[in-house]
Amino acid sequence: MKFLLLIHSAEDAWPPDEHAVALEESVQLCHQLHAKHEYLGAAPLQPAETATCVKVRNGQPIVSDGPYVETKEQLGGYFLIDVKDREAAIAIAAQIPGSRRGTTEIRPVVEVTNLPHMIPYNIQDQQ
pLDDT digits (tens, 9 = 90+) for 76-123: 999 999 999 999 999 999 999 999 999 999 999 998 888 887 766 565
**69 in any annotated domain:** yes
How many helices (H) and strands (E) the chain has is answered by: 2, 6
Q: pTM for this one?
A: 0.83
Find the CATH number of the domain harbouring 57.
Answer: 3.30.70.1060
Q: What domain count does the chain have?
A: 1
**95 in any annotated domain:** yes
Distances (CA, A) of 15 to 10, 20, 29: 11, 9, 21
pLDDT digits (tens, 9 = 90+) for 3-18: 999 999 988 899 999 9
**122 in any annotated domain:** no
The domain of 76 spans 2-110
